[in-house]
Structure 1
């Protein structure tokens, strides 16, 4: 999410949104999460150039939210004054070391009003796709491991509700996979 370890980024300012998806201010990340304020995140599905595989990764155990869970989006929260697309491009480079040579293609936007750690988690999710075969370079503070899977392999794992997969991406997955 940021280039700093997750524990120290809890005081990082992030954009605060309203339910309609408009940026209305900023607050530190810990406050946004603790109080369940609306915010926004953007993520990029990295699909191989041939379109046959997606990059799946496991988050580190030090993440503030969804620690140790799997995800198929490289992404993070939107900073004040930043567009979701700019966030997606920044986070892709930070987390996976992939520099977008073309703008990522928008895939989905969803307002997720869920729960995490017995607190409300309200987030506007913006998903994009970028075609790339890498190379992939994990940011050690953010990504513990990663691999390429076909859509079928990912769907097989997602069929198990106990498989530790990031819940906000899980609600988007049908819009993400072909």
Structure 2
């Protein structure tokens, strides 16, 4: 099954399931669905940053400071977070990511999804999927901040990153 054929739960403004749709159709029609964003840090506290491959359905060839993706139909946010983190980092046996908060991402142009933000510490050597990740490295948080204005970032990841910084400053 291709990524575009993967079945997603379609949700309303309160994150209640109201239907199902193939991913490609959900994207094309701007149907609200669910995603997970996992901040992965190594044992030194550096963030996993990567550039998405040119073949991604949304935001191809852009940089991201999260691993993650869509939540499949009938899948929980927690299960999707672990699955996506292990898939994108290319590891198995990762600790279960810790849920932090959820928000509704909306870019104002018919792209909207419920976004659950997690964090995880990865002490394992990573081997990212070549289908998902064109480049990767663990960067110090200061380096990520320096690159925010230089690199083309995924807009939903930037929104999650800004919310995560605000979340941590109030906690």
Normalised to the residue count of structure 1, the TM-score between the two structures is 0.86
* Cα displacement (A) at 1:100: 4.5
- Write the mapping of 1:92-107 to structure 2, written as runs, cut at 5 A: 92-107=85-100
**1:68 match: secondary structure:** coil
Q: Number of aligned pairs?
A: 166
Are 2:37 and 1:47 aligned? no
**1:120 match: secondary structure:** coil
- Write the mapping of 1:156-171 to structure 2, written as runs, cut at 5 A: 156-158=146-148, 160=149, 163-171=151-159
* Cα displacement (A) at 1:24: 2.2
CA displacement 1:11-37 (0-9 Å, x = unmatched): 221111111112222101111111111
Are 2:68 and 1:80 aligned? no
Whether the 8 Å contact between 2:82 and 2:94 is mirrored in structure 1 is: no
| 2:7 counterpart (3, 8, 13) | 13
- Write the mapping of 1:121-136 to structure 2, written as runs, cut at 5 A: 121-136=111-126
What is the CA–CA distance in structure 1 between the aligned matches of 2:18 and 2:163, rounded to whole Å? 27
Q: 1:101 to 1:141 in 2, by over 3 A?
A: closer
Which runs of 5 or more residues in structure 1 are unaligned?
A: none
Are 2:80 and 1:90 aligned? no
Q: What is the alpha-carbon root mean square deviation over aligned residues?
A: 1.7
| 1:143 counterpart (108, 133, 139) | 133
Which runs of 5 or more residues in structure 2 are unaligned?
A: none
CA displacement 1:72-91 (0-9 Å, x = unmatched): 11111011110111111111
Whether the 8 Å contact between 2:37 and 2:160 is mirrored in structure 1 is: no
Normalised to the residue count of structure 2, the TM-score between the two structures is 0.89
What is the CA–CA distance in structure 1 between the aligned matches of 2:131 and 2:94, rounded to whole Å? 25
Moved over 6 A (4+): none
Are 2:30 and 1:36 aligned? yes
